[in-house]
Amino acid sequence: MPNYKTQMEAAKKGIVTKEMETVAKKEGVEPEKLRALVACGQVAIPANIHHTALSAEGIGTGLKTKINVNLGISGDCKNYDVEMQKVEMALRFGAEAIMDLSNYGKTNTFRRELIAKSPAMIGTVPMYDAIGYLDKDLLEISAEDFLRVVKAHAEEGVDFMTIHAGINRRALEAFHREGRKMNIVSRGGSLLFAWMEMTGNENPFFEYYDEVLEILREHDVTISLGDALRPGCLNDSSDAGQIGELIEIGNLTRRAWEKDVQVLVEGPGHMAMDEIAANVKLQKRICHNAPFYVLGPLVTDIAPGYDHITAAIGGAIAAASGADFLCYVTPAEHLRLPDLDDVKEGIVASKIAAHAADIAKDIPYARDLDDQMAHARHKMDWEEMFQIAIDGEKAKQYFESTPPADRHTCSMCGKMCAVRTTNWILEGKKVEFYSEKERRLKK
């Protein structure tokens, strides 16, 4: 048996685990350099000891930007088969993490199947599952009950859990004092807020934080410190509630590291483009360079049906500014549970944002595929282009929907293709648009 409980404990002891070796190989970094980053908390490798199907990934400083796909059933959409199809799509497109946000009924059967088959990291929000798992109304749930759900998820093999421990009484003072247009838009945060207000008690995840950390440490679960007071519209961004909670999260980050529990810190939300970079820098400063996990940010509030685009814009800016982990947003955000097409659109948009940011951050080998695509375009090799593309299937469908007369062009430029024209001239060929027969007919 290894003489460590968690990846962070191993790293602090100078041990390079097999998960670190896997991540180092994927990222093209030296294992010892990676170990040092895990030891100081700047990189997290969420890897529950019970998740045997996992192919470990690293999140944090100097590594590729990762993406997460949310899925799960609700009371209005209870088809687990469809959710498993979404899982398969997420894996096919290379999502590094999947969060099961199911909030209806007994969800553990689906979650166990998901953990058994998924090489991607699995995340949950125990607060979502508490009501269904415990079969109690909110006011009937005790602090001990909440911890029972955390323990159940850890034992099932969940790699990281969103736990809204920062929304304590002190953080809520700023929320009450300042007021907001959208108040609280975090589902888990709103439930905790309601529980705290109805019972008069402190947030149980804050009050019993040490007990939570002991559960997570036992199974090597990474804590993702949720931003219950994230802004739900542009007007509420960077306000006292958001920043007050972030200050609490900074302290909770250090406390987790002291227990050798790895940390992700979650961030906004909705935010104007000119605020994003400053927010990332502030988070990194207050939370001691812990990996930053962002939802969006959505850069405008008026694009329902297109929020995969508003989130990709914000996500690209955030990741280029130092964020490490993007939570995808689908076109159905704010409207309904996403279907398969929505999930695909959200994944692709998020992958584009992450990849564009990695190029900007000069992540090792990030531009290799772009250089390969340029080479394939130079050769006019369509099949190679489709192989390299993030969504080659869609690219091929577009190309073949209006096939060109000459396979070495596309239907937009046809014979006037700039690439073909330049290639011919550089090869010493004459550029001609008409055949001999066509020239004779013109005469």
Largest CA distance in the chain: 93
Name the least confident of 37-51, 205-219, 379-393, 408-422. 408-422
- CATH number of the domain at 355, please: 3.20.20.540
Claim to verify: residue 287 and residue 337 sit in the same structural domain: yes
Amino acid at 259: K
70 annotated ligand-binding residue: yes
Contact 203, 173 (CB under 8 A): no
Strand partners, 224: 162, 264
Q: Which residues contact 273 (CB under 8 A, 6 or more apart)?
A: 299, 313, 314, 317
Give the residue from 340, 360, 380 where a domain finishes. 360
230 annotated ligand-binding residue: yes
Claim to verify: residue 340 and residue 377 sit in the same structural domain: no
Claim to verify: residue 239 and residue 348 sit in the same structural domain: yes
pLDDT at residue 1, rounded to an integer: 66
Element (H, E) at 397: helix 392-401
Claim to verify: residue 350 and residue 290 sit in the same structural domain: yes
pLDDT at residue 76, rounded to an integer: 64
Contact 147, 165 (CB under 8 A): no
The residue with tokens 């994944």 is 347
Is there a domain that residue 1 lies in?
no
Element (H, E) at 47: none
- Which residues span the domain enclosing 428? 368-442
Amino acid at 223: I
Task: Phi first, then psi: give them for residue 28, nearest 5 degrees.
Answer: 70, 35
Give the residue from 331, 360, 389 where a domain finishes. 360
Q: How confident is residue 405, by pLDDT bands cut at 50, 70 and 90?
A: confident
Claim to verify: residue 226 and residue 275 sit in the same structural domain: yes
Contact 231, 189 (CB under 8 A): no
266 annotated ligand-binding residue: yes
pLDDT at residue 77, rounded to an integer: 63
pLDDT higher than 70, residue 106: no
417 annotated ligand-binding residue: yes
Give the residue from 308, 336, 360 where a domain finishes. 360
Amino acid at 10: A
**Mean pLDDT computed over every residue of the chain:** 94
The two beta strands, 59-60 and 43-44, are antiparallel
441 annotated ligand-binding residue: no
Model pTM score: 0.94
pLDDT at residue 299, rounded to an integer: 98
CA distance 268 to 237: 8
Claim to verify: residue 417 and residue 309 sit in the same structural domain: no
Residues above pLDDT 70, as percent of the chain: 96
Q: How confident is residue 105, by pLDDT bands cut at 50, 70 and 90?
A: low
Claim to verify: residue 338 and residue 376 sit in the same structural domain: no
Residues in the chain: 443
395 annotated ligand-binding residue: no
CA distance 211 to 224: 16
Claim to verify: residue 268 and residue 377 sit in the same structural domain: no
50 annotated ligand-binding residue: no
User: Cis peptide before 269, with omega less than 30 degrees from 0?
Assistant: yes
CA distance 62 to 80: 37
99 annotated ligand-binding residue: yes
Of 309, 263, 260, whose CA–CA distance to 286 is shortest?
263
pLDDT digits (tens, 9 = 90+) for 110-130: 899 999 999 999 999 999 888
Exposed, middle or buried by CB within 10 Å (0-12, 13-18, 19+), for 158? buried
Claim to verify: residue 287 and residue 418 sit in the same structural domain: no
Claim to verify: residue 379 and residue 333 sit in the same structural domain: no
Claim to verify: residue 353 and residue 404 sit in the same structural domain: no
Domain count, the chain: 2
Is there a domain that residue 2 lies in?
no
pLDDT digits (tens, 9 = 90+) for 139-184: 999 999 999 999 999 999 999 999 999 999 999 998 999 899 999 9
pLDDT at residue 99, rounded to an integer: 97
Is there a domain that residue 230 lies in?
yes
For residue 14, give both structure tokens. Answer: 């100078």
Q: Which residues contact 439 (CB under 8 A, 6 or more apart)?
A: none
Is there a domain that residue 248 lies in?
yes
413 annotated ligand-binding residue: yes
pLDDT at residue 406, rounded to an integer: 79
410 annotated ligand-binding residue: yes
Contact 98, 71 (CB under 8 A): yes
Claim to verify: residue 156 and residue 230 sit in the same structural domain: yes
How far from 272 is each of 183, 295, 310, 318, CA to CA, in Å?
18, 14, 10, 11
CA distance 82 to 77: 10
